[in-house]
Chains A and B, each alone.
Chain A
């Protein structure tokens, strides 16, 4: 009987313990609050999904224990476990985020270093290329300058040689150096008296003279006819003109170019000597070949 009573008391006590549970468990509420914060955190959701799931499972266990009226100690314990698992999820996420930053920074550094090396290499290559180009250009310039110098030297040598040859040739032709330039005087003796025809004796000389013109196509000359003062000045002018023409024709017949020559009759003007003596008059009857000073610069010497 006593035992039955005791049993009843015990049963009642147990039931009383069950029904006198508070409406809420503050630890569980706190744990849920923390879990919700973590769950709303995109970083945690992304970087620690597994850890968050464990916290969620533990929270469910705590809620379950609470719903089933398990002892407060059990609910509190599971709530504590939930809160700790939330912390684990959060710390894991933050740790992984930091690691990602570190890895990213390292990658960025590597990229920067690589870019730097590449830039340096490019610069070096460019400088090398530029210097090679510059060397090549300088070499080419030197070669060009050398060639030009040689050419100039050759030209100088050539024109020196040509000028010397021409001078020799002109001297050989009895050209006289005067203030008007080199002048060849063809005397009266080469012409029939009073005629414009060249005597055969002068033919050899004309060939040599033509040769000098042909060898130096830049050589130009003016063929000027002169007479003494005997006779009318008109007749003298015509005679001097005809003789100059004869000489020019003779040279052209030998192959001298027309543009190397021009001619004019000077008549009795510009006598070379006095017309009072026979010797003087003979000297005045002449054809002068005046080499144009600018036909060859060297001649101006």
Chain B
């Protein structure tokens, strides 16, 4: 024990500190904002889980949800960098699911309104029976 301490004392040179800093893996310490990022991802996926996305963007929603699960696992595995990436991806995936569903809905609405306009024109142009 005593010898070990003496070694540490002897090793406290600038070279050793530098070596430790360089070789320390990025995931060794959880980033300060990882918790926040995880929370944002959780909220985004939850928010994206709507009737509309389930109907119009089920695959995109599934991807986001899977990413979130993977992010949680990476976090518990202390693979923090991967957890951070997966959390960010889950969040953007959730956004994609939502915007895709909205796009599909808007496109349907546009088609319907064009049909309605056409129908109205036809009705107006129909010779009146008076």
Contacts and interface: CB of A to CB of B under 8 A. Distances in A.
A7 B15 contact: yes
Nearest to A92: B99
Contact of A95 (B96, B103, B114): B103
A275 interface: no
A109 interface: yes
A7 B16 contact: yes
B92 A10 contact: no
Interface string B7-20: 10001000110010
A98 B109 contact: yes
Given A94-B103, A108-B117, A112-B124, A3 B11 contact: yes
A101 B122 CA distance: 19
A74 B120 CA distance: 55
Contacts of A106: 113
B110 A105 contact: yes
A14 B18 CA distance: 13
A99 B106 contact: yes
Contacts of B120: 109, 112-113
A109 B123 CA distance: 12
A88 B100 CA distance: 8
B81 A73 contact: yes
Interface stretch (A28-36, A77-85, A153-161, A162-170): A77-85
B82 A73 contact: yes
Contacts of B109: 98-99, 102
B106 A95 contact: yes
Contacts of B96: 84, 87-88, 91
B99 A95 contact: yes
A77 to B, nearest CB: 4
A278 B103 CA distance: 136
B-side interface size class = 20 to 34
Interface in A1-22: 3-4, 7, 10-11, 14
Secondary structure at the B interface, as helix, strand, loop or mixed, is: helix
B4 to A, nearest CB: 13
Contacts of B93: 84
Interface in B83-108: 85, 88-89, 92-93, 95-96, 99-100, 102-103, 105-107
Interface string A179-216: 00000000000000000000000000000000000000
A116 interface: yes
B103 A91 contact: yes
Contact of B117 (A80, A84, A105, A116): A105
Nearest to A89: B99
B113 A102 contact: yes
Nearest to B95: A88
Nearest to B100: A91
Given A105-B110, A105-B113, A109-B116, A77 B88 contact: yes
Given A73-B82, A73-B85, A95-B106, A101 B113 contact: yes
25 contacts: A3-B11, A7-B15, A7-B16, A10-B19, A14-B22, A71-B26, A71-B81, A77-B85, A81-B88, A81-B89, A85-B92, A88-B92, A91-B103, A94-B103, A95-B99, A95-B102, A95-B107, A98-B103, A98-B106, A102-B106, A102-B110, A102-B113, A105-B110, A105-B117, A112-B124
